[in-house]
Structure formats: C-alpha cells, structure tokens
Structure 1
C-alpha cells in the first residue's frame, strides 16, 4: 500500500502537480482542503508525513491530535518560529525547510550590502537635491571580512557570493564546523570574535530562545564603527532600541533590514517602535528577499525531498531540536 502525505494547505493545480511529481511512486498526496471533516481526520491519522505551511492556521482545533502515524511534519518555510509547534505530537519529528529560499535571499543581502557600501541611496538622494558628490569616497568589499551568523543554507549561499567579491568568510553555526569553505568558523560561544572581525555582518540564523535578543548594545559596541549589519532572518534577534541608538550614535554604521520586529505574516501588522526609516544609514525592504518567480516550486521540491528521506528510513534534514520547538 502506498504511503500518503497529508498536505495541510491549499495549492493551485500547477503546484499540486509539482508535489505529486516530486513524491513519485513513494507516496500519494492527500489535500486536506478537498476533504470533509471526517475525511480530514482520517487523512491525518493515516498520513506517513505532513507537508504544512502553518499548522496553527492550516489545521482546525484539535486536528493536530489526530496526527498519529506520521514520521515527519515538514514545513514549506525555513523559519517556523511563529507556528504553535507545541500543539503537534511530541513524538513526531518536525522539520523546517532549511535553505528553501537561500539563493534569492543571498542575492538580496548582497544587493543591500552593495547599496550601503557604495552609498547608492545616499547619492541618489543627493543628486535629486542638485548635489554632485563625485569625490565622496565609498567602500570596496574586496579584502574585507563578511561575518555570517547562521551558516545554514542562506549563510552558505551568501558566503559564495561574498567570496566571489574577494571577501574573507567568517561564520558561526551550532557545530562550529562546516563542509563549506570558510576562513574562520566558530560556534555561538565565539560570537564576540565574529563581531569584532566583521566589516559586514549577515544575520541568517533561526530565531530560537538562544538567539532572541542576541545582538544588543554590548554586541553592537564590539563591531567596527563603519560595519554593515544585514538582517535576513528575524527582527527579534537584534534588540530594536539598541540598534536604533547605535545607528544614531555611529553615522558610518549601516543597518540593512529585511526582517522586522513586527510583520504582517507573523504578527498581523507591520510596526516599528523606532523611526528607522528616518535615518540616513538604514536601508529597508519588506521581508521580500525570497519573493521571486519560481521559488514556490523550488521550496516545494526541497520540502518533498526531505519527506522522501523520512519515508525511506533516512534521517531527515533540518529537524528541530526540543529547544526550537518551544513556541
């Protein structure tokens, strides 16, 4: 009998075809959105795995308790800190889609770094005022250090782009080691070393109890006065008030913010507690670093590939630790 994979959210026909094709003859997708109440319960009880977007919204009250045979609950997004994971059965593995959108996010981070280092927005505005600052110096990235906090899929993709520009790569991950080439790598215990060395700091680590509010006034104070901080991960990793104060006090320091503290998808609204966009040394984007054509299909294929690992008896990737499931 072929295993079934319960897909908890609705997809358009082309993306349904992607899921079915990626599963192949290993499993059959069952779409909860097509089923009545009894059918949904039956599908959840029998599924060998789940493909989910946000089980807090995809599943109805008490449906999570019907998940009994699944070997994996696989989410389509990499960051799932906003999902009520505590509602899922404790004995079933839960995985994020690590690196699902790595390539476009890395490109976005690079674009922000280049815009800051080359003063593109600053001089664009100056030209509009009739100022022609041809001999105001900008920066070159070659020979400088790119520090990457969170050396998973996004971090590795970012490192490859930055290395192509001639930057040294310093990185931090949980293990303090990686198969990807770096000039230096450490664990979170080595954060101070990374901060002191970085000319560019790219934040691409998941939000967990260990990383929440990780970068505050002390940590920012360790960084170079002209460093560029890029947050592609979660706003809550950086203390908002501390970053705003640091930017005010250090006009050569740049913050490139794609991930904000209060966002519509996770919180139902967009809000900032400090007027970051009034500062000349801030570049902002609306957490759209992954919003490019074709990325839904790529993310689906990567998520399904992890489901196939679990169904084949292999160890799936990006399984959350108990600490990461404390949401």
Structure 2
C-alpha cells in the first residue's frame, strides 16, 4: 500500500478554497492546513503556497520568510507549488537544491487578457478624453479615433497570458509578433523573434505587451535604448513585472515623447496592505499614462479557480504524470 503524501497548505483557506484543493488532492494526499497546524509537520512532502505577504504559515509570516525558515527543516520535502504565477520573490537561495518549484503560470491568463484590451481600447478609442469633453458640453464627432485592425501587437514573453491576448487580437484583425527564449509559438503568432532580435522586434510594433517574469535575464530589459527604437506613438502595456522596465527611463521617455503611451498594471514600489500608494515618479499626472493597481488578474470568485489550477498541477507531480511550470532556479539565483 502506497502511503498518501503529506501536503502542507501554507495560507488561510476558506471553505470554497478547501473544496478546490480537496477536489484535486484529497484522494491522493493527506492535507494539512496552516490555520490548524501553524508549522509544517516534519514529514511534509509537498507545500502549496500563496505568494503574498502574510500567507506563510499560521502566524501570518510573509511567504518568503516562512519558506526560508522551514524548507531546510523538512527532510522529505520534494516540491513547492505556488498559487501565484510569479515567483521572483521566493527565497531560492534558502530552498534546498533537490526541491522542485512549480509556478501557476497561465492560471490568470483569461482575466488578464481582458484587462490588457481594456487598457488598449482606453487609448485607441480616446474614451477618457471624449468623456471629459462631453462633460464640458463638447460633442466632438469630427476627431477620428484609432482602430486595431492592421496594427502590430508585439508580445514580449509569449506564455499563457501572451497566448490569451494573441487569441483575442486575432478577433480584432491585428498582426501578432512574439519574442521569447524558447522559440515556441502557435498559430496566433505571425512572426516570432529570438532574444537577439529585440531591437528589430521593438521597432516594428504599434503596441508592446510585457508579460515577462522578473529574472536576472529580464530585469531592466526595457531601458532608454530599447524605448528609443520604438515608434513615437507606440503604446506600452505592462502586466508582467515592473522592474523589467527601467523606471526613470520610461518616465523621461513619456515626457519627451508625448505621443508615446503607457498602460501600467504593475509598479516598482507597491504598497503593502492598506498603506498609501506613492509612486517614485508622478506617472499618473501624465496624460499619456493609464494605471491600474496590479489587479489585472483579480476578478470575482477567481481565487478558488487559481488554487484549483495549482492543486491540479501539484497532483500531477505527486502522481508522476505530466506536470508543468517547472521553475528554473538558475534564472533567479
């Protein structure tokens, strides 16, 4: 008889979240929840973690601190599965080399793709400016807006989010460029670029979408030089990680190129909890900037679905089936 693996769920789990976890892992593992057991048992083989402050263990330690304290104390630990797509905040130098880390990349792709197009259409259809004109009594039907048909959407980091956006782009009759390291694409991509062709890729796009994870390879990739080869009226949309862009370089570029636009869902300094958001540069005072509070993947009733996606992938690992999203720790350490 094969004993069920012990899985430690290291974040508060409401009833619907527990149902999602049990649906995927209940039949093959023994589930231990941090709300009842603040510290993981010594024979824990797998961890399911949420990637946010106050989600590690029963005493609400940040996940990174919790993992740093506990992973080396668990001799049977084989795998850590995150509920988040991003893993750049995990303490890879503290996680034993033999422990596999799995992300939840792609789980948030559908709502994020909708958010991307909301941001694109905000600018292309001049929604805010025409709304303000109407409030002042100006009924402007003469100034045309832009259409998406025929525009080139460039996706930097073609994974689950990029695929979901590209699929929708085809509904608008857009041309899709993609750049990634793997060299893999699909039928939605009209032209695929490798990392060495970054400048050529950037110079040809009307809309640049960043969905990249933050790694030692991607940090600061979009700098003054990269922005300088883009079209003067291009639109940059970032739903990946803020530090892929050099903050000061983007701000200065927006000032010096008023036709250039930026839609930012992720920020270089994001507040914790209910503290006040204070950006390092006054991006939100610029007319060519649209911001959102890192909520592109946050839609009603979505967290249980994201947890179930992570639990399903963890179950595949534990059962020796095809699992996905293995994190290459060399990209982070």
User: Normalising to structure 2: TM-score of the pair?
Assistant: 0.90
Asked whether the equivalents of residues 72 and 94 of structure 1 are also in contact (C-alpha less than 8 Å), the reply is: yes
The answer for the alignment partner of 1:211 in structure 2 is 218
Match of 2:49 in 1: 52
Greater helix proportion: 1
- CA distance 1:151–1:60, change in 2 (3 Å): closer
Q: 26-35 or 214-223: which moved more?
A: 26-35
Question: Counterparts of 1:206 and 1:218 in 2: how far apart (Å)?
Answer: 21
Aligned equivalents of 2:40, 2:28: Cα separation in 1 = 22
Q: Indicate conservation of the 8 Å contact 1:71/1:310, yes or no.
A: no
Match of 1:252 in 2: 259
Of 291, 296, 315, the residue aligned with 1:289 is 296
Deviation at 1:218, TM superposition (A): 1.0
Once residues 157 and 60 of structure 1 are traced to their aligned partners in structure 2, the CA distance between those partners, rounded to angstroms, is 32
| Corresponding residue number in structure 2 for 1:17 | 19
Given that residues 68 and 91 in structure 2 are in contact (C-alpha distance below 8 angstroms), is that contact kept between their aligned partners in structure 1? no
Contact kept, 8 Å, 1:141 with 1:166, in 2: the verdict is yes
- How far apart are the structure 2 equivalents of 1:233 and 1:281? 20
Establish whether residue 183 from structure 1 lines up as the match of residue 180 from structure 2.
no
- Count of aligned positions: 321
Q: CA RMSD in A?
A: 2.0
Q: Does 1:3 align with 2:5?
A: yes
Mark the CA change 1:273 to 1:124 in structure 2 (over 3 Å): closer, same or farther. Answer: same
Distance (Å, rounded) in 1 between the aligned partners of 2:187 and 2:267: 29
For 2:91 and 2:67, the matched residues in 1 are separated by 13
Contact 1:41 1:66 in 2 (8 A): no
What is the aligned counterpart of 2:165 among 152, 158, 164?
Answer: 158
SS at match of 1:264: coil
- Note the residue ranges of structure 2 that are not aligned, 5 or more in a row: none
Deviation string 1:72-128 (CA, Å, 9 cap, x unpaired) is: 200000012123232222211112110111100110000000111111112222222
1:297-308 matched pairs, under 5 angstroms = 297-308=304-315
Structure 1 Cα separation of the partners of residues 231 and 16 of structure 2: 48
1:131 equivalenced with 2:127 (yes/no): no
Divergent runs of 4+, >4 A: none
